[in-house]
Amino acid sequence: MFGCITLLLALLVVPAAAAPVKILALGTSLTQGYGVPPGLDFTAVLEARLRATGVDAKLINAGVSGDTSAGGLARLDWSLADHPDAAIVELGSNDALRGQSPDQTQKNLRAVLARLKVAHVPVLLLGMKAPRNLGTEYAAQFDPIYPKLAAQYGALLYPFMLDGVAMNPRLNQADGIHPNPAGVKVIVARVLPLVRRLVAEVKR
């Protein structure tokens, strides 16, 4: 009799489905989706591609148009209130466009990565490159920031978010800076393997 009751209880208990992996995307207009229709921004397309490959993920779009690395750092604690399992960090492009000090950009990004490490949130860092019209000296100071910090904090690194898209008029909006929907798809396709590795690092 006891065995029958135990079996009945076991049949009635349905295991709860695992919650989607929450990925915070902290960034600029490139993350926010400036100039593209709703549902075609970086986070929406990446989430759809992850799900299509069997990864149950929820992307939190924390992109702010025009934001600098200082702005991203200032709102990091607020963004962490969603308790993400992992984070994609895309900051620094606007610092370079404004010619801000690479040392300050590095300091801000270091603080972001340090805060995420303390929170045990694995990170994928999307690197940027300085506009070449700022000169070789500026680029030599700015470009190495991302590989240096990724190595220091054990973050995954995609060296240049706009790789394969920058300077291609077919993949950019009229401003020549922001990717169009076709450009977003290229970025997502290229970064997807690293995002899958990021998800694999999540400890739940």
Q: Which residues are known catalytic residues?
A: 29, 175, 178
Q: Using alpha carbons, list the distances in angstroms from residue 190 to 157, 161, 183, 194.
A: 12, 9, 11, 8
User: Residue 86, SS3?
Assistant: strand
SS3 category, 58: strand
Helix H or strand E segment including 151: helix 145-153
**CA–CA distances in Å: residue 105 to residues 32, 52, 81, 112:** 20, 35, 24, 11
Structural contact between residues 89 and 26, judged by C-beta atoms closer than 8 angstroms:
yes
* Percent helix, percent strand, percent coil in the chain, to nearest 5: 50, 15, 35
Comparing CA positions, the residue from 138, 140, 136, 130 lying closest to residue 97 is 130
| CB count in 10 Å sphere of residue 30 | 27
Number of CB atoms found within 10 A of residue 176's CB: 10
